Chain A
Amino acid sequence: MSGYLAGVLAIFCINLIFAYGIFVTAAAGQINLGGAGFQAIGAYAAGWLAGQAGLPIAASIMTAALITALVGLLISFPALRTRGVYMVLATFAFGEVVAGFLLHTDVFGGAMGMVVPLHVDLWVLVLAATFVTLLMFFLMATRLGLAMRAINDDEDASVVMGVNVRAVQVAAFTIGGALTGLSGALYALNFGFVEAQYFNALLSIYVLLYVLIGGTQTAWGPLAGTVFFTMLPELFRVGGSARYLIFGIVIVLMMALRPEGIVTRALISRLSPRRLFATGGARGN
């Protein structure tokens, strides 16, 4: 595999895990625009643990994910006091505070960034991305996943039906924190260098867009969104600003034509084999 392709694949794997981290909360109806902040914490934690503290790679990745899970858990309580536009703003503020803090802290290299001496290979990333993807499909099939979907569709109705909305949302934030932290840890250990400027507001915006454009109804959504936005531009070799211009136009068009995302539950049920091979069913719809 060429170095170029390996680089693209590495970024794809990291973005996919990152996108699933944002997806978990979005699937439960919460929009997290502070993704870069969570990812930065994971990246810096893993980098510092593996570098300065001398922990083995696996331990530092696990610890980093645990730390961001804890951050997600803690941040969920103030964040869940807010709703709608306010939650977008609160999570956005969180991301900015984290980036500002890391930029200002000398232990982590400040504006100079931090070199991470240890390295994980591409196969670890691919394995992790595959594992996370399968885990999310499993999660969406469990009672918790069902509860998340219910809250997203109608919060009041799910309360009436006995869903513990608060617990589900806190769980979603915790899982989301762990996954975004994991993506950050893998980023740090694969690229060998982290700098606070990378984890900016635009990164949070882009990853949220992967998820919302892909679709929040099923676990296929982030996969579709990430493939669509990280692999396609590479395949067509569109570079620089033109690439982002097309990205923007696609977003506006998608919202106009298919506002629930690329993959919806309706699409999946239409494509499912049971439906296709059912007698007469395929013609019926």
Chain B
Amino acid sequence: MSDSTDIAVARMRLRAPVIAVVVTLVMIALGIALGGKVIAHQVVSGLLLGSIYMTVAVAFTLTIGVLNFLNFTIPTLFMLTGMAAWGLLSGGYLTLAGRGAWLVALAVGVVAAVAASLLVERFTFRYLKMKHGDATEHAIPLVSSLGFLIIFENLVLIAMGSDSQRFAVPFRADLHVAGIVVGVPQLVSCAMAVAVVAALSFVLKRTKIGRALRTIAENPDTASLLGVDVGRVVPVVFILTGLLSGVAGALFTVNYGDVSPFMGDNVGTKAIAAMVLGGVGSIWGAIAGGLVVGLAETLSIQFFGGDSVAMTVWGLVLVIIVLRPKGLFGVAAIGKGKM
């Protein structure tokens, strides 16, 4: 078990979610008690941003945990969802769908992200593994995914231009809870992000495919010997990656109302920061890290101004890497192998 990863063991102890919920509530309460409504509002929007980072961070952590592969296409999958949805809407392809057109557009966007992710799987993993044995031995998949990052981003640039575009969502409602304004889309988004991640945890822990994924995470060769069809299970990781990034992209689009070919860059790097903070390979780590980064971002804008975000977040990451390389919740074995 020395090689075991968090995904492999999938110790989804009851403790972790309880701690997460309690910490969140305590932070909101502290925010309201100490800083009044302004801070409380920042905490709420930090948690929303955090839930998007969290979803993307889970996508990152899943590919590293199972395949030991840092998938740099995730930010572009995120962006593809938003841009594809905007392209469909503005092109007038969805007039039949009527008022629900934006929802259909986002759904198609998510499907596009999954399809793109499968394309990446074809060229980074399956093909290379066939040709060169164990692809994880080399930096090959990493470099290939950087290539795909460049390809997708520039394809979108050529097709749709570099401008930031408005994605109008026809509903807007606010709830007033204890004097704080909370947007309904924000709440729905948080709930959806949590639901997607919870569903993933369930799949990993309880289903047959989840068990296969955990086996591969522990040792691909042994998994293959024990009858896991590695070639058929690996695409599942990429489907899940596309799904998670796509859903996060759709939620981002709905909440912030803007799409651009570069919308994934910032979210992607922040999600990487979140994953490292929480511990690479740990789903609960990615969740905690996502929320921490989201909060750190809105609060450091509040206290130190807009330029300070990168310093705060990455400084935190660098300190964590130096002092506790496995992250807050991580398991030491992950990412140790030769690239």
Bound-state Cα–Cα, A208 to B140, Å: 13
Interface membership of A203, Cβ < 8 A: no
Question: Chain B, 263-293, contact with A by CB distance < 8 Å: what is the 0/1 string?
Answer: 0010001001100100010000000000000
Consensus secondary structure, chain B interface:
helix
B residues less than 8 Å from A247 (CB atoms): 150
| Contacting pair A249 B147 (CB below 8 A) | yes
Consensus secondary structure, chain A interface:
helix
A residues less than 8 Å from B309 (CB atoms): 100
Given A84-B335, A252-B151, A259-B140, decide whether A94 and B311 contact each other with a Cβ distance below 8 A.
Answer: no
Q: B158: nearest residue on chain A (CB-CB)?
A: A241
A residues less than 8 Å from B339 (CB atoms): 31, 84-85, 88
Given A93-B321, A241-B158, A244-B154, decide whether A252 and B147 contact each other with a Cβ distance below 8 A.
Answer: yes
Question: Chain B, 133-162, contact with A by CB distance < 8 Å: what is the 0/1 string?
Answer: 000001110111011111101110110000
| Contacting pair A104 B149 (CB below 8 A) | no
Question: Chain B, 75-86, contact with A by CB distance < 8 Å: what is the 0/1 string?
Answer: 000000000000
B residues less than 8 Å from A209 (CB atoms): 143, 146-147
Interface membership of B208, Cβ < 8 A: no
Interface membership of A90, Cβ < 8 A: yes
Question: Which of B124, B153, B325 lies in contact with A82, CB distance below 8 A?
Answer: B325
| Contacting pair A96 B269 (CB below 8 A) | yes
Question: Which of B143, B311, B321 lies in contact with A100, CB distance below 8 A?
Answer: B311
Interface membership of B227, Cβ < 8 A: no
Q: B273: nearest residue on chain A (CB-CB)?
A: A93
| Contacting pair A96 B321 (CB below 8 A) | no
Given A78-B321, A96-B310, A100-B314, decide whether A89 and B338 contact each other with a Cβ distance below 8 A.
Answer: no
A residues less than 8 Å from B144 (CB atoms): 251-252, 255-256
B residues less than 8 Å from A40 (CB atoms): none
| Contacting pair A245 B335 (CB below 8 A) | no
Question: Chain B, 313-331, contact with A by CB distance < 8 Å: what is the 0/1 string?
Answer: 0110110011001000000
Question: Chain A, 186-207, contact with B by CB distance < 8 Å: what is the 0/1 string?
Answer: 0000000000000001000100
Interface membership of A38, Cβ < 8 A: no
Q: B127: nearest residue on chain A (CB-CB)?
A: A256
| Contacting pair A249 B318 (CB below 8 A) | no
Number of interface residues of B (CB under 8 A): 51
B residues less than 8 Å from A93 (CB atoms): 273, 276, 314, 317-318, 321
Given A29-B338, A97-B311, A99-B310, decide whether A244 and B318 contact each other with a Cβ distance below 8 A.
Answer: no
B residues less than 8 Å from A213 (CB atoms): 143
How many Å from the CB of B250 to the closest CB on chain A?
A: 24
Interface membership of A92, Cβ < 8 A: yes
A residues less than 8 Å from B311 (CB atoms): 97, 100-101, 104
Interface membership of B256, Cβ < 8 A: no
Question: Which of B265, B317, B322 lies in contact with A81, CB distance below 8 A?
Answer: B322
Bound-state Cα–Cα, A83 to B332, Å: 11
Bound-state Cα–Cα, A110 to B317, Å: 22
A residues less than 8 Å from B128 (CB atoms): 255-256, 259
How many Å from the CB of B65 to the closest CB on chain A?
A: 11
Q: A245: nearest residue on chain B (CB-CB)?
A: B154
Bound-state Cα–Cα, A255 to B145, Å: 10
Residue among A81, A90, A205, A248 facing the most chain B CB atoms (10 A cut-off): A248
Interface membership of B132, Cβ < 8 A: yes
Bound-state Cα–Cα, A242 to B150, Å: 11
| Contacting pair B143 A86 (CB below 8 A) | no
Bound-state Cα–Cα, A122 to B330, Å: 50
A residues less than 8 Å from B315 (CB atoms): 97, 100
6 nearest interchain CB pairs? A251-B147, A100-B310, A248-B150, A248-B151, A85-B335, A100-B311
| 24 A-B pairs in the complex with CB atoms less than 8 angstroms apart | A29-B338, A84-B335, A84-B337, A86-B280, A86-B321, A89-B272, A89-B321, A90-B321, A93-B273, A93-B276, A93-B314, A94-B318, A96-B310, A96-B314, A111-B307, A201-B269, A205-B72, A209-B146, A209-B147, A212-B143, A245-B154, A251-B146, A252-B144, A256-B123
Inter-chain pairs besides A244-B153, A245-B150, 20 sampled, C-beta below 8 Å? A31-B339, A78-B321, A85-B334, A86-B280, A89-B276, A90-B318, A92-B272, A93-B273, A93-B321, A97-B318, A155-B338, A241-B158, A242-B154, A245-B151, A248-B148, A249-B147, A249-B151, A251-B147, A252-B147, A256-B123
